[in-house]
Amino acid sequence: MLTAAADQAVVVRDLRKSYGASEAVRGISFSVGRGQTVALLGGNGAGKTTTLSMLLGVLTPSSGSIELLGLPLAQHRYDILPRINFTSPYVDLPKRLSVVENLRVFAGLYGVDDARQRIAELIAELDLTEVADRPYANLSAGQRTRVSLAKSLLNSPELLLLDEPTASLDPDVGDRMRSLLERFRAQSGCAMLLASHNMAEVERLCDEVIMLRRGEIVDHGSPAVLLAKYGRSSLDDVFLDISRAEPA
Amino acid sequence: MSAAGSARGSGLRRIGAMMARHFYLIRRSWPRLLSFAYYPVMQLLVWAFVTKYLAAQSGSQSVLQAAPGILLTGVLLWDVLVRGELGLFLSFLEEMYSRNLGNLFVSPLRLHEFVIAQMLLSIIRVVIGSGMALLVAVVFFDLTIVKQVAVLAGCLGCLLVFGWSIGLIANGLVLRFGLGAEEIGWAVVFLIGPLSGAYYPVAVLPQWLQWVALAMPTAWTFEAMRAALIDGQARWDLLAWSLAIAVAYLGFGAIVFRQLVEAGRRRGLLLQMGE
């Protein structure tokens, strides 16, 4: 699963995170190629969010190494952060600021050139025109998710980390978001690493799936390969097989 | 532009973005803007009338007769310290209540840029809040220390820097221990109150407390204030001590804040902050 670092957006080697005696992530290694979309799948406590947090630099690994866009994260955090972005329904934006104000602030933080035009593009693309001047607090959960996604695309990232990107969206809006992500990847060559519980989404978006259980990678492969390997017709069933299996 | 110049420009832009975030907030809420000045002005009015009453009751040898602005100036300068601390603390709490810290920590915003933006915001809070109270004191109560502008500015600077150091430590504690530690942030500055010498010289304190008081810049600042008001002297030596101690506290506060952020990074607290 590990390949040469030069053409990789993410290279993780023997990554571990312990809290006292409890090990949340137990020596995982994987890579994500540039332009590739990879899913981290696993039940609650499998280590998905812990892994994403370490990749974002907001959680210090106990050991192991992370390289993003060819640079070691520990030494080059501030060279890497302007080139990546992140969205999660569990991290909010300032509630009393309007959609446009929020996007202006983050455009400033990410040093986006021609921020006005970029914000206008994203607002149109994510169907936020009607709520652009509305405070974030007054938006529905689905609208908030779209604003958060707009924030994550502001800097045209080379690597996008997505934590359940379409959670709380209705099927129509969820489908449009997935189309947007596909288009963005095709246009920009952005690599994506997403944690999701939506297997249809994973099947549609991802080139590769990494299955986590109790902080370890228990299997990986393309959705088609995993379906064939487990003799199942949907990733939901593969997920259940893996997450309910007794550890070896 | 050189790489260093470009990096500096990006840093300024990020600081500007953080300030814009709070300007947008204030622009949306006039009551919030008014509250900056409301509390300092109301507090000043209470003390102004108390001073008038006490001055009328006391003899001509009273310190209130000799230096009528002494209590008012103490109130004003004490407020600068409180606003300096709250300027940092409230803007930090705002991020926590918004559950926005995660977005900030994964953005290119550096910790020192975050803190500089908070400091600039606290200066604005002080200018609006304490500035309005100062105006009321000068116009309606004939406050005299404004005639010693340089001493007043020196006192303001020392107290603001000390306020920032307390704010940084309060921010770090809330980050590390969560919003349950919020009360510490509100209370800690008032712990200093009895030892500050804002309203009386620290000489009235028990000896051992005097040593504690002198280890803080407040005692030196307020002594310089009294020297200006009572004797008409500009005691730059006292202000120099005060500034040196305040800067040392600021350095200590910055180290504590950084350590607590790193502790938060080790424990996975930075993405989970909020209500």
pLDDT at A236 over 70: yes
* pLDDT score of B106: 93
Whether A57 and B274 lie within 8 Å, measured CB to CB: no
pLDDT at A175 over 80: yes
pLDDT at A231 over 90: no
Average pLDDT over residues B19-41: 87
Assign A42 to helix, strand or coil: coil
Q: Report the complex ipTM.
A: 0.88
Whether B270 and A95 lie within 8 Å, measured CB to CB: no
pLDDT at A3 over 80: no
Determine the residue of chain B that is closest to A110 in CA distance: B108
Whether A106 and B107 lie within 8 Å, measured CB to CB: yes
Query: Do residues B43 and B79 lie in contact, with contact meaning Cβ atoms separated by under 8 Å?
Result: yes
pLDDT band at residue A88, thresholds of 50, 70 and 90? Answer: confident
Which DSSP string do the residues of chain B spell out, in sequence order?
--HHHHHHHHHHHHHHHHHHHHHHHHHH-HHHHHHHHHHHHHHHHHHHHHHHHHHHHS-TTSHHHH-TTHHHHHHHHHHHHHHHHHHHHHHHHHHHHTT-HHHHHTSS--HHHHHHHHHHHHHHHHHHHHHHHHHHHHHHH---GGGGHHHHHHHHHHHHHHHHHHHHHHHHHHHHH-GGGHHHHHHHHHHHHHHH-SSS-GGGS-HHHHHHHHTSHHHHHHHHHHIIIII----HHHHHHHHHHHHHHHHHHHHHHHHHHHHHHHHT-TTS---
Contacts of A50 in chain B (CB under 8 A): 268
- CB of B26 within 8 Å of a chain A CB? The answer is no
pLDDT at A43 over 90: no
pLDDT band at residue B139, thresholds of 50, 70 and 90? Answer: confident
Q: Average model confidence (pLDDT) for chain A?
A: 90
pLDDT at B7 over 80: no
Residues 85-104 of B with CB under 8 A from A: 94-95, 98-100, 102-104
Interface of A with B (CB under 8 A): 17, 19, 49-50, 53, 56-60, 78, 81-82, 85-86, 88, 90-98, 101, 104-111, 135, 151
* pLDDT score of B273: 41
- CB of B20 within 8 Å of a chain A CB? The answer is yes
Q: Which two tokens stand for residue A152?
A: 């994550």
* pLDDT score of A244: 76
User: Which amino acid is present at B53?
Assistant: Y
Average pLDDT over residues B113-131: 92
Q: Which two tokens stand for residue B65?
A: 């007769």
Q: Which two tokens stand for residue B44?
A: 């000043």
Contacts of A101 in chain B (CB under 8 A): 20-21, 24
Nearest CA to B274 among A89, A142, A139, A148? A89
Backbone angles phi, psi at A177, to 5 degrees: -65, -40
Which DSSP string do the residues of B183-242 spell out, in sequence order?
HHHHHHHHHHHHHH-SSS-GGGS-HHHHHHHHTSHHHHHHHHHHIIIII----HHHHHHH
- CB of B270 within 8 Å of a chain A CB? The answer is yes
Determine the residue of chain A that is closest to B13 in CA distance: A108
Sign of CA dihedral A226, A232, A236, A242: negative
User: Which amino acid is present at A62?
Assistant: S
Share of chain B above pLDDT 90, in %: 47
* pLDDT score of B274: 38
Task: In chain A, count H helices and then E strands.
Answer: 9, 10
Cα B171 from Cα A146, distance rounded (Å): 31
